[in-house]
Amino acid sequence: MVDFKHFDTVDFNKDEDALRIIDQTKLPNKLEMLELDDEESIWDAIHYLKVRGAPAIGVAAAIGIAVLSKKIKEDDLIKFKEEFNRIKKYLESSRPTAVNLFWALDRMGRITENFEGQKDDLIKLLVDEAIKIREEDIEVCRKIGEYGLKLLKENYGVLTHCNAGSLATVKYGTATAPMYLAKEKGMDIRVYADETRPLLQGARLTAYELNAAGIDTTLICDNMSQTVMRNGWVDIVFVGCDRVALNGDACNKIGTSMVALAAKRNKIPFYVCAPTSTIDFSIESGDDIVIEKRKDEEITDMWYKEKMAPEGIKVYNPAFDLTDADLITGIITEYGIIYPPYKEALMKIKEEHNL
């Protein structure tokens, strides 16, 4: 098993001419690295969750478009920019919910838009910006970890949903960052990882990476979180998110809102770990978030030897859900933990840090 703390999920390859990722669809059984240098395979990797998790998607898109820019043949700057914008739009269509995808591509887009000069100089700036986005992600996750760690005590039970781990970022994760930092400090905690139907990110990824890091981890099915909370085994919940609205509504992997409801019922603090790249300052509430719908087969067939539902059954398969702001105890960002009223707190962060 590989300790992902020492292993970057997303990067350039050595020659900076390909996007290098861990193929997360192969985990936990096989650790396979992919080097991708054409637009279809980069789009595919994001769409089919070879690279997934909001921050990792953003970093992959930034590195992806930097790599693809190197391949644009046009020397004329106007034509180069047109081709860049076409690729940007194409990558944006790979997944709709995680705002980090759009945030990272917009950052790359602004570099291109504002540039005047030689194509090669622009490409260099794009590579530098992608490296910056990647490095920032590591720093931001570590900061979230430091703030989250302040909420943990020795022998705490921590529940998490989906994978907001190292594999969902470049390193550390968001929801897992406090867990990794606790481990670094020699603090004992117990983690309950929801398996996360239908794509099993909790079982395949979170359980795998925490276990590999030597953190006491218990895998549970999604429908068991209320039971472990009622048993008194959980002291705090940390989850990640794909998009946070101004009012504090948080969109995360399907099932997160049920965990929040159970936490409220059991009076357990429920924290959303959100780098500011995941905050969408342009939307007032979670109702404005586009929730990705995925294929029926993820529920009826995937992971099974045989079909596990009647042929032709109607299926509803949204990939994410909304946790209403009033169920969230606090949001942990790289600039500190914020509490309700979220709009005021988020606007303050935006102004103070020029976001």
The one among 53, 145, 148, 330 contacting ligand MRU by CB under 6 A: 53
Rounded distance between C-alpha atoms, residue 122 and residue 112, angstroms: 7
Distance of closest approach, residue 182 Cβ to ligand MRU, in angstroms: 18
Structure letter (DSSP) for residue 279: B
- The size of the interface with ligand MRU (CB under 6 A), counted in residues, is 19
Distance of closest approach, residue 233 Cβ to ligand MRU, in angstroms: 22
> Does the annotation mark 301 as catalytic?
no
C-beta of 53 vs 64, nearer to ligand MRU:
53
- Determine the interface stretch with ligand MRU among 52-60, 86-94, 177-185, 298-306 (rule: CB under 6 A): 52-60
Residue nearest to ligand MRU (CB): 240
Q: Binding pattern to ligand MRU, positions 153-192, x when CB under 6 A?
A: ---------x-x---xx---xx------------------
C-beta of 26 vs 230, nearer to ligand MRU:
26
C-beta of 25 vs 211, nearer to ligand MRU:
25
Strand ranges, E, within 44-134: none
Q: Which of residues 222-241 bind ligand MRU (CB under 6 A)?
A: 240-241
C-beta of 274 vs 349, nearer to ligand MRU:
274
Q: What is the 3-state secondary structure (H, E, C) of the chain?
A: CCCHHHCCCEEECCCCCCEEEECHHHCCCCCCEEEECCHHHHHHHHHCCCCCCHHHHHHHHHHHHHHHHHCCCCCCHHHHHHHHHHHHHHHHCCCCCCHHHHHHHHHHHHHHHCCCCCHHHHHHHHHHHHHHHHHHHHHHHHHHHHHHHCCCCCCEEEEECCCCCHHHCCCCCCCCHHHHHHHHCCCCEEEEEECCCCCCHHHHHHHHHHHHCCCEEEEECHHHHHHHHHCCCCCEEEECCCEECCCCCEEEECCHHHHHHHHHHCCCCEEEECCHHHECCCCCCHHHCCCCECCCHHHHCCCCCCCCCCCCCCCCCECEEEECHHHCCEEEECCEEECCCHHHHHHHHHHHCCC
Distance of closest approach, residue 168 Cβ to ligand MRU, in angstroms: 3
Q: Which of residues 22-51 bind ligand MRU (CB under 6 A)?
A: 49
Distance of closest approach, residue 196 Cβ to ligand MRU, in angstroms: 8
The one among 12, 18, 55, 108 contacting ligand MRU by CB under 6 A: 55
Site for ligand MRU contains 201 (CB under 6 A): yes
Cross-strand pairs, 36: 19
Distance of closest approach, residue 160 Cβ to ligand MRU, in angstroms: 9
Query: H or E element: which one contains 124?
Result: helix 119-149
Residue of 11, 137, 235, 242 marked active site: 242
C-beta of 168 vs 182, nearer to ligand MRU:
168
C-beta of 125 vs 255, nearer to ligand MRU:
255
Catalytic residues: 242
Binding site for ligand MRU (CB under 6 A): 49, 52-55, 98, 162, 164, 168-169, 173-174, 201, 240-242, 252-253, 319
